[in-house]
Amino acid sequence: MPNYSAKRQEYDDALPGWQLVKRCVAGPREVRKYDEYLPMPDPLNQSPENIARYQQLKKRAMFLNVTGRTRTGLLGAVFRKTAEIKLPSAVEYLLENVSGDGSSLEQLCKEATGECLDTGRGGLLTDFPKVELPEGQTSLTVSQAAKARAYVHFYPAESIVNWREDVIDGVRRLTLVVLHEKINETTDDGFEFTAKDQYRALMLINGKYVQRVYSEDTPDGVKTNPTDKMGKAFDHIPFHFFGSQNNDASIDKAPLEDLAEVNILHYGNSATVEEAGFISSQPTLFLTSDLDPDTFKIHNPNGVQIGSRKGHLLGKQGSAVMLQAKETQLARELMKDKEDQMLMIGARIVQQGGGAETAEAVRIRYSSDNSVLGTIAGNVSEAVRLSLFDAQRFMMEAVDEAGTVFWLNQEFFDEAMDAQAILAQMQLWQQGIIAKKDLRTNLRQAGVLESDRADEDIDADREEEAPVVGSEPDSPPANQPPGVNDE
C-alpha cells in the first residue's frame, strides 16, 4: 500500500513555527490553550493546589496580540486599493466565484496574502470538477457544460505535506505535490458530521499530469487524468506555490515568526508581573505588643480591625506597622524591552505617535517592512496569474496572456499630490513629454482620480459634459508644440 500520508522532514521542522504564528494571530483565548507558551513554575509539583494556582496564573497573564494586529495592518496596506484585474470573458465568473463556494477572487487573494505573512508559504490548485454523467449518457449536454467550470482552490502551508522537484530536460519541474484535506461526512440523521482525512496526490508521470485521491476507504487511490479544453493532458501540475521570498517549492521564512516569538516572551513577562502584583500588592498589618495573649484578647475582644473608627490597646511597648511591597521593576522592564523589540521587528501599529512626522520619515521607517510586503504581494500576484492561465486551459482553446492582467496593489502609502505637483504634471503633458494616459495614471496613483476609473469611462463622461467656456473641446493645449501627439 502506498505511503500517501508521508510528510517531508522540512514540513515537520517548520510546522511548530507556523502553529505559533497562527495561534498568536488567533488571540489570547487560543494561546492560553497551550501550556507550552507559559510553562508551569513548578512542573514537578502536580498537586491539585499547584495546578489550580497555575490555571489562575494563566488567567491573569495578559497576551497583547501585537502579532494579529500587525497582520491586520499589513493586509490592510495591500488591499487599501483594488487589484488591477482583466480577464477573458470565458473565465470572468472567477471574479465572483473563484473556488466554487461563492468566494470572490479578492477574498482568495486575502487568504493567500495572510497565509504568506503567517507561514511564508501556500499554494493554489486549479482543478476542473468531475461531472458524473447519467447512465447511458456519453457526453455533456449544453446545460451540464454551462455548469462545469474550472476553479482555483487555496491550500495553506499545513495542508501541503509532501512535494518533489525533478530536473527534466535541464529544467527543474514540480513532479509531486501531496495535499492533506478534511472531508466532512454527515451522520444518518443529518445533524452531525465526522471529519475524515483525505490526501490528494498531484503527479507528473511520463510528462502527463495525473491526480490520485487516497483515504482509509480507498488506500490504493482513485485516479483521474485531467485534460484541457481540447482533450489534451496537461504537461505540468496546475499547482502553484507562493512564498515570502520566491515561488519555488522550498519553504521560506515566515515573516511574522520573529514577532510571534517576542510576543510569547512578552506574555510570560506579563504573567510574572501580574502574579507578583496579586501576591504582594495588598498591605499587611504587623503588630508588636508586650501583652500576653489572654490580656490582649481582653482588650481587643473582636480582634484587630483595620480602619479609623476603632482603637486598639497594644500595651506600653506595642506598635503597629502597615507593610506593602514596593513595585518590582525587573519584570516590568523586561516587558518594556519586549515591546520595543516588537516595534523594531515591525509591529509599529501599536506605537504611539510622539509628534509630527514627515511622510518621508514614515517611508524610511517602514522601508524594510514594505520590501517584504511588496515581495509577498508580487509573489501572490504571480501565483494567481498562473492559476488563471490554467483555468483558461480548462475553459478555452488557447490561453489569452495579453488579455489577462492581475496585480495586487504595492503602493502602501498615499502619494499626496498638491496643486503644484498636479500643475507640473499638466505641463509635462502639454509639452509632449508624457502622454495623457501617463498623466491619468499618475493622478490615479496619487488618489486624485478613482483607481477603478478607466480612461474610456473618463472620456465617455467628458463627451456628455458641456464644453468648457473659452476653449474648444477638441483643440490642442495652448502650450503644446505643433505636431506633438497628446496620446
The 10s digit of each residue's pLDDT in 144-153 is 455 689 999 9
Mean pLDDT for 218-236 is 92
DSSP assigned state of 92:
G
pLDDT greater than 60 at residue 365 = no
pLDDT greater than 60 at residue 362 = no
**Grid cell listed for 62:** 495578559
- Of 90, 31, 23, 88, the closest CA to residue 58 belongs to 31
* Window from 33-47, 77-91, 373-387 with minimum mean pLDDT: 33-47
- Each domain of the chain, given as residue ranges in start order, spans 7-132+140-155+241-282+326-413, 283-323, 415-487
Instruction: Report how far residue 385's alpha carbon sits from residue 404's, in angstroms, rounded to the nearest whole number.
Output: 8
Q: Which residue has the cell 476653449?
A: 471
Average pLDDT, the chain: 82
In this predicted model, what pLDDT tens digit does every residue of 60-81 receive, in sequence order? 888 888 899 889 988 998 998 8
pLDDT-derived band of residue 301, with 50, 70 and 90 as boundaries?
A: confident
Q: What is the 3-state secondary structure (H, E, C) of 424-477?
A: HHHHHHHCCCCCHHHHHHHHHHCCCCCCCCCHHHHHHHHHHCCCCCCCCCCCCC
CA angle 397, 403, 405 (to 5 degrees): 125
CA distances from 126 to 100, 108, 121, 180, 202 (A): 11, 13, 17, 16, 11
In the prediction, which pLDDT does 281 show? 57
pLDDT greater than 60 at residue 423 = yes
Predicted TM-score of the model (pTM): 0.74
In the prediction, which pLDDT does 483 show? 47
pLDDT-derived band of residue 54, with 50, 70 and 90 as boundaries?
A: confident
Cα-based torsion angle of the residue sequence 460, 462, 466, 470 in order, rounded to the nearest 10 degrees: -150
Instruction: Report how far residue 225's alpha carbon sits from residue 234's, in angstroms, rounded to the nearest whole number.
Output: 9
Comparison of pLDDT for 103 and 309, the residue scoring more:
103
**Grid cell listed for 330:** 525587573
pLDDT greater than 60 at residue 471 = no
Most confidently modeled range among 120-124, 191-195, 223-227: 120-124
In this predicted model, what pLDDT tens digit does every residue of 242-254 receive, in sequence order? 999 999 999 999 9
Mean pLDDT for 420-427 is 87
In the chain, what percentage of residues exceed pLDDT 70? 78
- Cβ(321)–Cβ(286) under 8 Å? yes
3-state helix, strand, coil in the chain (%, to 5): 40, 15, 40
In the prediction, which pLDDT does 256 show? 92
In the prediction, which pLDDT does 147 show? 66
In the prediction, which pLDDT does 39 show? 84
In the prediction, which pLDDT does 313 show? 65
Q: Which residue has the cell 497582520?
A: 71
